[in-house]
Amino acid sequence: MVPTYDIPSSYIDDYARQFRFSNGTTGDDHGIHIVGIKETPKDVWFLIKDSGSGARNGENKGYYFYHNDYVKLKMINCMMHKDAAKKLIEKFEKNQTQK
């Protein structure tokens, strides 16, 4: 989770993310794989599969839950299987044919 003393959730945007890349507190040197999502009435959590050396610590080797705020603030890209994003792809393709 991102502590509120760092930045409140409502202030997380592209500028906050870019600021962290510019000052070196966030980097783009490692990829992870989002393999699941858990939505509660209060929060959204992403199940992350991480192959980094630190990912082997803890009870669930290679897996973590990342809070939505952390993903919004720290992630620069995301990849998913096309079947998981079928409606989004169809919408994109429809918009492309209308241009």
The answer to pTM > 0.85 is: no
Residue 76 structure tokens: 């620069």
Closest CA to 66 of 53, 49, 47, 79: 47
Is the confidence at residue 85, as pLDDT, over 80?
no
Q: Any bridge partners for residue 37, and if so which?
A: 46
The C-alpha angle with vertex 46 and arms to 43 and 51, in degrees rounded to 5, equals: 150
Q: Would you state the pLDDT for residue 9?
A: 87
- Among all chains, which residue has been given the structure tokens 């992350």? 48
DSSP 95: H
Is the confidence at residue 17, as pLDDT, over 90?
no
Mind listing the pLDDT tens digit for each residue in 19-60? Answer: 988 988 887 766 778 888 899 999 999 888 887 766 777 787
What is the overall mean pLDDT for the chain?
Answer: 81
Pair 36, 46: CB distance under 8 Å: yes
Q: Would you state the pLDDT for residue 45?
A: 93
Q: How many CA atoms lie within 13 A of 30 on its CB side?
A: 12
Name the residue ranges covered by the structural domains of the chain.
9-98
Range in 11-15, 67-71, 91-95 the model is least confident about? 91-95
Residue 88 structure tokens: 């989004």
